[in-house]
Amino acid sequence: MTRIGREVVRAWAGSLRRLYPPSHRGRVGTDLDRLLEDQAADAAARGLGALLGFVVTNTVVGLRDALLEWVEAATRRNRTRGGGGVGMGSTMRALGQVVRGLSRRPGYAVPVLATVALGVGANTAMFSVLYGVVLRPLPYPAPEHIVRIHGADPGRGERSGRLGLPDVRDLAERSRRLEHVGAFTTLPSDLVLTGDGTAQEVETAFVSSGFFEAMGTSPLLGRALTRTDEVGDDHVVVVSHAFWRQHLGADPDAVRRAVTLSDETYRVVGVMPEAFAFPSPRTQVWVLLSTIPASSIPLQVRGLKILDAVGRVASESTIAQAEADLSAISASLAEAFPDDNADLPGIALTPLRDSVVGDVDRALEVLMAAALLILILVCANVANLALAREAARGPEMALRAALGASGARRAGVVVTESLLLSIVGGLGGLAIAWSGTDLLVGASAGTLPRAQEIGPDWRVATFSVAASIVVGLTFGLLPGLQAAGRDLAASLRAGSGRTARMTGRGTLVASQIALSVVLLVGSTLLVRSLWSLRSVDPGFRSEGLVVADMTFAATRYPGRPEYLQRWTEMLDGLRAIPGIEGVGSVRRFPLRGEGEASRWAAPGHPASEDDDGARAYVLQVSADYFRVMGIPLVEGTGFGASAGQDGRNVAVVSRSLAQAAFPDESAVGRPLDLGGYAMEIVGVVEDVRQRELTVEAHPTVYLPQLLSPRRGQAFVIRSSRAEADVMRDVRALVASQDPGQAITELAPASEIVGKQTDRSRFFALMLAAFAGLALALGAIGVYGVVAYRVAQRRREVGIRVALGAEAPDVRRLVVGQGLKPVAVGVVAGLVTTLWLVRGAASLLFGVGLYDPLSYGMGVAVLLSVAAVACWLPARTASRLDPVRALSADG
Amino acid sequence: MDRPEPEDQLPLKAVEFQILLALEACDRHGYAILKEIETATGGSMTVRASPFYRKLKRMEDDGLVEEAGERPTPELDDQRRRYYRLTDLGKRVAAAEARRLVDLAASSQVARLAREGSGRG
């Protein structure tokens, strides 16, 4: 171990020893420290993991034993005092005493219980989400070896391209770094289950034979899909656990049964375990890609890049090695098939965990940190309450001490009391967490991945119990030590011991305020981010718009004339649906990715070689697209109905491209070089956020679909009818025109936009809730201290009033003194926030890390609440009747 | 007060007996006791620090062990350590427990069970 490591271990061992009651500590002495240090050195020699494990287990065991010793210390003294009885009997009696003492003072016990329950509950719920989503390994064997395989183009920074089936086969055959490779897609329309009376769509994953081997999970019943199934004529299906329960009656012999899916008979060969949730937790059936007729989707065509893939990296290889290996194979494929593969000459591997969890982990870590701050606040708050109570009991305890109760015994009682309260409160917190977790998952509105894996679990319960014990020890030890070390004479004089104690409480309040500032400013920043996210104009009107994504397969519509014919029919058919105001189409719907990229150049603005700005997104659109989407035309005419057919190479460009190419002059009528083709600009439209809501619009060129047709188009349908009705009609129309046509995605545009803000809304809401809790706890803390001080100083205030002090003077005095620790806390909190905020940078949008308004608002809210908390006791003080105050005792 | 009888303390918990055995050879500090137990049991018995001291304290209360007055030579000593040794009672209890175990091992039933156990394994 390093010298610093030894120092840390030494400090840890020392503090562990200090948890014990003095009697035990005196007997064991520092031998315990030495032993822990020696054992830590032994563990460190076995590795960092062993050392960490050693420290954690010994901390937990040590906490438990310290607790037991305190309880025993308290009961033993009971016995020597002649309390009678031995063992459990006396322990129960001591506990009974504590419980009776507490129930006589519900004004103390109830707020403590509520605070602890809230703090532990919030933490436990948050921890179970963090654990389920981020920390828990994926429920597949050796999940760290499973990767998602994507086509990549390092030049463009593209790492999420899809693959063709022949690509996947070649990668599987040639790679020595991957053990198994499987392709899958959910793009074709779901299969329809018939047979038990009604027809119903079941969420379908189409997979290749390597898919289940790559995932590594064995079916619960039967077997997975194999290579033999791919060549056989038999239709076979593997079903999910939910499907098995729902449609097969959880029949243990289900693997011999058959189901009818989209009019074909499928033999059930396997049932997956409940935890298997890939590609989606909602997937109900897995069928082979080979069951898709080539006439519907020609998967054997290399150029048809619609597949996702997963692979299992060989155990002796790293992901980086596998990526290099696959990239080399992919590069040779790009050379062999330049037409099909030159676009995506590389391969990118993403660990499956990253692709499932996404970028949510940072946000959850920030929320977990916020929850831990709340727990610290809870500790400070209950410690404050306990100190106030101890102070109030001061004369009584001093009397007891004078009658012979030792300091250690009094401390033991106080600590037992604190632990009891915190454990009961912690159980309440567990109950809160139980329901709170569901609430939390519900509030996340589907933005949390792996939500089905979040749930109560022994780790979560352990966390909760540990949290409440920590709370109990923290808030019990401080007043406990105070009770033990009380200066008898000073307490009986009721006053002189107060100054030091008040300083301690003032510090507690200041730290509470500081933590509240951190949470308040943090949540204000997040709320402001959400606000700016929601006010981002995506560049089109999403209300009343439905999007239907389709690809016209080459097998059914082999050439350009055929699929353009089909495209026209689709537009006409959609227009004929009653109540439809307009129909257009685009290569890729906004917020769904950039589409193709092409170099552009304009007179006076030559194409540069490496500048990303010199690439424009190219989108093929129908003539009506801009009108239907509500994208304003800034200049020029847009496309006429015959655009693309009259021999003119016309293009509409986005405002940002027009400004880059022709600053200070009109772009309409000017030439544009697009990847070597001479285009004529006929219009300029407003910028549209094509990639994501949070990403600035990129220069974009729109071409008429008839000029440069593409098989894949997103149809946009505007109507004032209910979106659900429109979607139903669209589905019926597509089925009637061509039953084999898959709709890749059908959704209201508002949902597509909304999804981009859902997550931010969830995190802002969560942090705001934590901040609210912090504010409430901080206010209670301030109020408690000020009110207590007023009560203690009744005489002094009475004298001041008797000597002629006016009510406003008294109020000013009380509020001024109360706000002093608040001011200290605000400054400390601001400094802490400025230091911590960089960790949350990735969660913010459209608001600076050091946004003065957020900081100002956070502080203002806190100060006003603190002022009210001071004002209430100040008002009481100013109404004090001097006669009664002076005649009262103490 | 009656002279305490070693038999009153029997049977000992396995850990207690191991602690007595460790101290029977020589006086040791806490870490050395645990090390000795680990060696003697081939690593099959591991005791964590805080329960160990609770146990040790209890054995001290029962008069089986006590703090050793003598410390090792100054150059080997560490002031933070505390050395323990067996009391007379501790020695007698250890001996009584040893006799009890030997008697137990001599019983034909125990021998038969042990044979069956190893036969299956």
* Whether this model's pTM surpasses 0.95: no
Q: CA dihedral in degrees (A97, A99, A105, A111; nearest 10)?
A: 150
Q: Which residues, including other chains, have CB under 8 Å from residue A687's CB and lie 6 or more apart?
A: A539, A654, A655, A656, A697, A700
Q: Which residue has the higher pLDDT, A818 or B118?
A: A818
Please name the residue of chain B whose CA is at the shortest distance from the CA of residue A17.
Answer: B50
User: A62 vs B50: CB contact, 8 Å cut-off?
Assistant: yes
Across the interface, of A24, A35, A69, the residue whose CB is closest to B49 is A35
Comparing A885 with A617, which gets the higher pLDDT?
A: A617
Closest-CA distance of chain B to residue A53, Å: 12
Q: Does A76 reach chain B within 8 Å, measured CB to CB?
A: no
Alpha carbon distances (Å) from A20 to A54, A412, A458, B67, B82: 19, 11, 27, 20, 17
Separation in Å, CA of A42 to nearest CA in chain B? 11
A855 in a structural domain: no
* A423 within domain boundaries: no
- Using an 8 Å CB-CB cutoff, list chain A residues near B81: 30-31, 34
pLDDT of residue A607: 57
Least CB–CB distance from B49: residue in A24, A29, A58: A58
Q: Residue A210 falls within a domain, yes or no?
A: yes
Q: Does residue A28 belong to the interface with chain B, where contact is any CB pair within 8 Å?
A: yes
Chain A residue numbers with beta carbons less than 8 Å from the beta carbon of B65 are none
Nearest to A65 among B50, B60, B82 (CB): B50
- Express as a percent the part of chain A with pLDDT over 90: 24
**Is A65 within 8 Å of B57 when comparing Cβ atoms?**
no
* Cis bond before residue A395 (omega within 30° of 0): no
| Distance (Å, whole) CA A195 – CA A203 | 17
**Residue B113: CB partners within 8 Å, gap ≥ 6?**
none
- Average model confidence (pLDDT) for chain A? 82
Q: What is the pLDDT of residue A300?
A: 85
| Residue of A28, A60, A70, A79 to mutate, testing the B interface (most B Cβ within 10 Å of its Cβ) | A28
Give the mean pLDDT of A834-840: 84
Query: A27 to chain B: nearest residue by CA?
Result: B57
pLDDT score for A702: 94
Distance from CA of B93 to the nearest CA of A (A): 22
Cα separation, A825 vs A843, in Å, equals 26
* Domain locations in chain B as residue ranges: 12-120
Could you tell me whether strands A221-222 and A191-194 are parallel, antiparallel, or unpaired per DSSP bridges? unpaired
Checking if the pLDDT of A147 tops 80, the result is yes
Q: Chain B residues with CB inside 8 Å of A24's CB?
A: 53-54, 57
| Residue A461 C-alpha, separation from nearest chain B C-alpha, in angstroms | 23
pLDDT of residue B71: 73
What pLDDT is recorded for position A241?
A: 94
pLDDT of res. A488? 45
Chain B hits for A30, CB-CB cut-off 8 Å, are 80-82
**Mean pLDDT, residues A506-512 taken together:** 82
Please identify, among A721, A749, A777, the residue that sits at the C-terminal boundary of a domain.
Answer: A749
Report, as an integer, the average pLDDT of A303-327: 91
pLDDT at A335 over 50: yes
Whether B50 and A27 lie within 8 Å, measured CB to CB: no
On whether any CB of chain B is under 8 Å from the CB of A72, the answer is no
pLDDT in tens, A260-297: 887 788 999 999 999 898 898 889 999 999 888 776 67
- Nearest CB among A29, A31, A61 relative to B50 is that of A61
Q: Which of B50, B51, B78 sits opposite A34 (nearest CB)?
A: B78
Residue B54 has a pLDDT of 87
The pLDDT value given to residue A145: 93
Of A451-455, A607-611, A717-721, B97-101, which gets the smallest average pLDDT? Answer: A607-611
% of chain A surpassing 70 pLDDT:
87
Task: Name the pairing type of β-strands A700-704 and A615-621.
Answer: parallel
| Token pair 């009721």: residue | A494
Residue A109, judged by CB atoms within 10 A of its CB (0-12, 13-18, 19+), counts as: buried
Whether residue A32 and residue B29 make contact (CB cut-off 8 A), yes or no, is no
Question: Is residue A85 classed as helix, strand or coil in its secondary structure?
Answer: coil
Q: A573-609 b/e with 16+ CB inside 10 Å = b? A: bbeebeebebbbbbbbbbbbebbbbbebbbeeeeeee
Long-range CB pairs of A851-860 (<8 Å, 24+ gap) are A851/A525, A851/A528, A853/A528, A854/A521, A854/A524, A854/A525, A854/A528, A855/A521, A855/A524, A855/A830, A857/A524, A858/A517, A858/A520, A858/A521, A858/A523, A858/A524, A859/A517, A859/A520, A859/A521, A859/A826, A859/A830
Q: Tell me how long chain B is.
A: 121
Range of the domain at A255: 143-357
pLDDT recorded at residue A360: 80
Helix, strand or coil for residue A278?
A: coil
Task: Identify the residue with better confidence: A551 or A515.
Answer: A515
- Count CB-CB contacts under 10 A for residue A136: 17
Closest residue of A to B54, CA-based? A65
**Nearest by CB: B31 against A16, A29, A38:** A38
Neighbours of A808 (CB within 10 A): 10
With tokens 């062993």, the residue in question is A50
Given a contact cutoff of 8 angstroms between Cβ atoms, the answer to whether A741 and A570 are in contact is: no
A108 pLDDT exceeds 70?
yes
Q: Give the side-chain half-sphere CA count within 13 A for A816.
A: 6
Q: What is the mean pLDDT of residues A206-216?
A: 93
C-beta of residue B18 within 8 angstroms of C-beta of residue B104? no
What is the mean predicted confidence (pLDDT) over A635-653? 87
Can you tell me the distance from the alpha carbon of A541 to that of A555, in angstroms, rounded to the nearest whole number?
Answer: 36
**Six-digit token string for B109:** 């039933």
* Residue in B48, B53, B82 nearest the CB of A57: B48
Q: Which one has a higher pLDDT value, A199 or A875?
A: A875
Q: Which helix (H) or strand (E) holds A549?
A: strand A545-551
Contact yes or no for A108/A385 (Cβ under 8 A)? yes
Q: Does A354 touch chain B (CB under 8 A)?
A: no
The reported pLDDT for the residue numbered A486 is 54
Tens digit of pLDDT for each residue in B44-56?
A: 888 888 889 988 9
Is B57 in Cβ contact with A24 (below 8 Å)?
yes
Provide the pLDDT for residue A81.
47
Preferred mutation among B27, B35, B50 to probe A, highest tally of A CBs within 10 A: B50
When CB atoms are compared, the residue of B31, B48, B54 closest to A58 is B48
Q: Per-residue pLDDT averaged across A242-246, rounded?
A: 92
Q: Where are the beta strands (DSSP E) in A219-321?
A: 221-222, 236-239, 258-261, 264-271, 285-288, 308-313
**A493 part of a folded domain:** no
CA pair distance A325, A594, nearest whole angstrom:
28
Tell which wins on pLDDT, B3 or A538: A538
pLDDT at A410 over 70: no
Is the CB of residue A781 less than 8 Å from the CB of residue A873?
A: no
The closest of A875, A876, A858, A865 to A778, measured between CA atoms, is A865
- Asked whether the beta carbons of residue B29 and residue A34 sit closer than 8 angstroms, the reply is yes
Top mean pLDDT of A57-66, A451-460, A750-759, A856-865 is at: A856-865
Tell me the backbone φ, ψ of residue A621, rounded to 5 degrees: -135, 160
- CB–CB of A31 and B29 under 8 A? yes
Establish if A534 belongs to a structural domain: no
Asked if the structure places residue A2 within a domain, the reply is no
Q: Burial, B46: exposed, middle or buried (Cβ in 10 Å; 0-12, 13-18, 19+)?
A: exposed
Interface test with B, best of A35, A54, A60, A80 (most B CBs within 10 A): A35
Would you state the pLDDT for residue B121? Answer: 39
Judged by a CB distance cut-off of 8 A, whether residue A745 touches chain B is no
Residue A502 has pLDDT above 60, yes or no: no
Q: How far is B48 from chain A (nearest CA, A)?
A: 7
Radius of gyration over alpha carbons of chain B, in Å? 17
A65 inside 8 A of chain B by CB: yes
Task: Give a yes or no: residue A561 inside a domain.
Answer: yes
In a domain, A8, yes or no: no
pLDDT in tens, A681-705: 999 999 999 888 888 888 899 999 9
**Choice between A334 and A692, residue whose per-residue pLDDT is larger:** A334
For residue B115, with 0-12 CB atoms within 10 Å meaning exposed, 13-18 middle and 19 or more buried, which class applies? exposed
Confidence of residue A489 (pLDDT cuts 50, 70, 90): very low
Considering only alpha carbons, which residue of chain A is nearest residue B46?
Answer: A39
Please give the pLDDT value at position A682. 93
Question: What's the farthest any 2 CA atoms get from each other in chain A?
Answer: 110
Mutate to test the interface with A, among B35, B53, B67 (most CBs of A within 10 A): B53
DSSP strands (E only) in A662-753: 671-674, 677-685, 700-704, 712-719, 743-748
Contacts of B31 in chain A (CB under 8 A): 31, 34-35, 38-39
The reported pLDDT for the residue numbered A497 is 45
Residue A159 confidence (pLDDT) above 90: no
Task: Give the Cα separation of A527 and A541 in Å (integer).
Answer: 24
Residues of B in contact with A26 (CB under 8 A): none
Tell me what pLDDT residue A496 has.
42
Confidence of residue A89 (pLDDT cuts 50, 70, 90): very low
Distance in angstroms (rounded) separating the CA atoms of residues A787 and A871: 10
Per-residue pLDDT band for A613 (boundaries 50, 70, 90) equals low
Boundary of a domain, candidates A357, A392, A420: A357
Q: Which two tokens stand for residue A285?
A: 């059936």
**CB < 8 Å to B51, chain A:** 61, 65
Which helix (H) or strand (E) segment is A598 a member of?
Answer: strand A596-601
Q: Is 90 exceeded by the pLDDT of residue A547? A: yes
What residues of chain B lie within 8 A of the CB of A16, using their CB? 50
pLDDT per position as a tens digit, A182-197 = 999 886 667 778 766 5
**Cβ contact, residue pair A35, B80, below 8 Å:** no
Closest CB to B51: pick one of A34, A36, A65.
A65
Q: Which of A728, A235, A303, A308 is nearest to A553 (CA)?
A: A303
pLDDT of residue A273: 94
Instruction: Report whether pLDDT(A88) > 70.
Output: no
Q: How far is B20 from chain A (nearest CA, A)?
A: 17
- Over 70: is that where the pLDDT of A29 sits? yes
Structural domains in chain A (count): 2
Q: What's the average model confidence in pLDDT over A616-630?
A: 92
Q: Is the pLDDT of residue A298 over 50?
A: yes
Let me know how long chain A is: 890
Residue A24 touches chain B, beta carbons under 8 Å: yes
Tokens coding A348:
């990118």
The C-alpha atoms of residue A122 and residue A368 are separated, in whole angstroms, by: 9
pLDDT band at A309 (very low <50, low <70, confident <90, very high): very high
Cβ within 8 Å, pair A66-B50: yes
Please, what CATH class does the domain formed by B12-120 belong to?
mainly alpha
Res A377: pLDDT: 83
- The last residue of a domain, from among A700, A723, A749: A749
